[in-house]
Amino acid sequence: MSKEKVDVTGISVPLGEDYPEIRESVRRICKDFPGEYWRDLDARSAYPDAFVKALTDAGYLSVLIPEVYGGAGLPLRAASVILEEIHASGCSAGACHAQMYTMGTLLRHGSAEQKQRFLPDIASGKLRLQAFGVTEPTTGSDTTQIKTRADLVRDPGGDYYVVNGQKVWTSRALYSDLMMLLVRTTAADQVARKTEGLSVLLVDLRDARGNGLEIRPIKAMVNHNTTEIFMDNMLVPAANRIGEEGKGFRYILDGMNAERIIAASEAIGDTRWFIRKASNYATERIVFGRPIGQNQGIQFPIARAYTELAAAEMMVRKATALFAAGQPCGEDANIAKLLSTEAAWHAAEACLQTHGGFGFASEYDVERKWREVRVMQVAPISTNLILAYVAEHVLGLPRSY
């Protein structure tokens, strides 16, 4: 029923441990960052500098950057595998995944000059592209209604934008050098369609902070280093606009399928972690003279989460294969995101329940990971918005918003 015409001729889906060397190497790096490391950061709401540095030094945050700019030039599946293994190891890519989430916008729509200016330094780790400013406090999921304005000023010394507005939930802004920012460059009442008149600016946070940009941390349920940002006559060179003025919404949408797929891969990794953790504990914990895992009330929720993992993983692999083949994959990427985050949540619940009271003790890491996967039902896209996509674009039901 989907309106998307997908040609599946010749597309195959790899099974098993694809990219085994990458998986093994990521697992080795993650071993140096055990639960104590993440617990300490969580308690202090601190940023995992050492972890991000280790991944950067090993080249794993720049796998999507073409070799000519110093990256590995690998396909999206490699990024998925890296993020999956990070999460399956009990670590979190939340501090650095934006580099992969947002990279596509610069790769696909940036000019040759911009790529040359930014990508080699991002690949080497000299520059961090970790912040992505889309969500605003008063508009939420209704992205086309954002209020942040950027007005172009012509200047012989170089044209620039004057930006005014506010973003919320801009994660990692305090730890990033660059921020991909969605702004309105033509007022909503002066465009034919509400998706027009939006533009993407690459903001150099090092120049902007204290010069029209204020960043305030938000204390949240998870240690996501998230912030709200206030822009008051912040200047951004026009040379930092990605692509054409007014086409920014399409550029952001273009990146959504890749974002859904790699977010889903993180959830697959988390699900694997919870199932392993729950199974181990259920086997070791003896109550009433037998392992608690002998009780079906304990083993069935874990087994059910495993079946959900298996199904979700197939959808992630299918969506990735379609993406790699250049085929439309909106339906599959959205379904993959929904199924994998639900599998992760059900596995988290099963794991917490299996641990009884100890599930609430920080030292078991279960409650921290449980909080982290709960976020995935809301960010980077909420479950309802995925269901709305499937209802409208796949099933042809009337648009609900």
Ligand X SMILES: Cc1cc2nc3c(=O)[nH]c(=O)nc-3n(C[C@H](O)[C@H](O)[C@H](O)COP(=O)(O)OP(=O)(O)OC[C@H]3O[C@@H](n4cnc5c(N)ncnc54)[C@H](O)[C@@H]3O)c2cc1C
Q: Which chain residues interact with ligand X by CB under 6 A?
A: 132-135, 140-141, 169-171, 220, 222, 224, 226, 375, 378-382, 384-385, 388, 400-401
Sign of CA dihedral 238, 243, 248, 254: negative
Task: State in angstroms the smallest separation of the CB of 138 from ligand X.
Answer: 9
In the block, tokens 């293994």 appear at: 85
Nearer to ligand X by Cβ, of 302 and 338: the residue is 338
Whichever of 177 and 313 has its CB closer to ligand X, that residue is 177
Q: Which is nearer to ligand X, 78 or 229 (CB)?
A: 229
Q: What are phi and psi of 132, to 5 degrees?
A: -140, 110
Is residue 304 exposed (0-12), middle (13-18) or buried (19+ Cβ within 10 Å)? middle
Quote the least distance from Cβ 76 to ligand X, whole Å: 20
Shortest distance (Å) from residue 321 CB to ligand X: 27
Could you tell me the smallest distance in angstroms from the CB atom of residue 174 to ligand X? 12
Least distance CB 105 / ligand X (angstroms): 13
* Minimum CB–partner distance for residue 93 and ligand X (Å): 13
Query: Closest separation between CB of residue 131 and ligand X, Å?
Result: 7
Nearer to ligand X, 172 or 277 (CB): 172
Which residue in the shown chain puts its C-beta closest to ligand X?
Answer: 140
Question: Residue 150 phi/psi, 5° resolution?
Answer: -130, 120
Which CB sits closer to ligand X, 104 or 133? 133
Other beta carbons within 10 angstroms of residue 353's beta carbon come to 15
Three-class DSSP labels, the chain: CCCCCCCCCCCCCCCCCCCHHHHHHHHHHHHCCCHHHHHHHHHHCCCCHHHHHHHHHCCHHHCCCCHHHCCCCCCHHHHHHHHHHHHHCCCCCCCCCHHHHCHHHHHHHCCHHHHHHHHHHHHHCCCCEEEEECCCCCCCCCHHHCCCEEEEECCCCCCEEEEEEEEEEEECHHHCCEEEEEEECCCHHHCCCCCCCEEEEEEEHHHHECCCEEEEECCCCCCCCEEEEEEEEEEEEHHHEECCCCEHHHHHHHCHHHHHHHHHHHHHHHHHHHHHHHHHHHHHCEECCEEHHHCHHHHHHHHHHHHHHHHHHHHHHHHHHHHHCCCCCHHHHHHHHHHHHHHHHHHHHHHHHHCHHHHHCHHHCHHHHHHHHHHCCCCCCCHHHHHHHHHHHHCCCCCCC
Closer CB to ligand X, 146 or 305, in the complex:
146
Q: Cβ of residue 170: shortest distance to ligand X, in angstroms? A: 5
Closest distance between ligand X and the C-beta of residue 289, in Å?
43
Q: Which residues of 55-76 are buried (b: 16+ CB within 10 A; e: fewer)?
A: bbeebbbbbbbeeebbbbebeb
Q: Which is nearer to ligand X, 171 or 279 (CB)?
A: 171
Of the two residues 141 and 307, which places its CB atom closer to ligand X in the complex?
A: 141
* Least distance from ligand X to the Cβ atom of residue 360, Å: 21
Taking the least distance from each CB to ligand X, the nearer of 185 and 354 is 185
Residue 72 or 218 with smaller CB distance to ligand X: 218
Compute the least distance from the CB of residue 92 to ligand X, in Å: 11
CB nearer to ligand X: pick between 170 and 257? 170
Dist CA 99 CA 129 (whole Å): 5
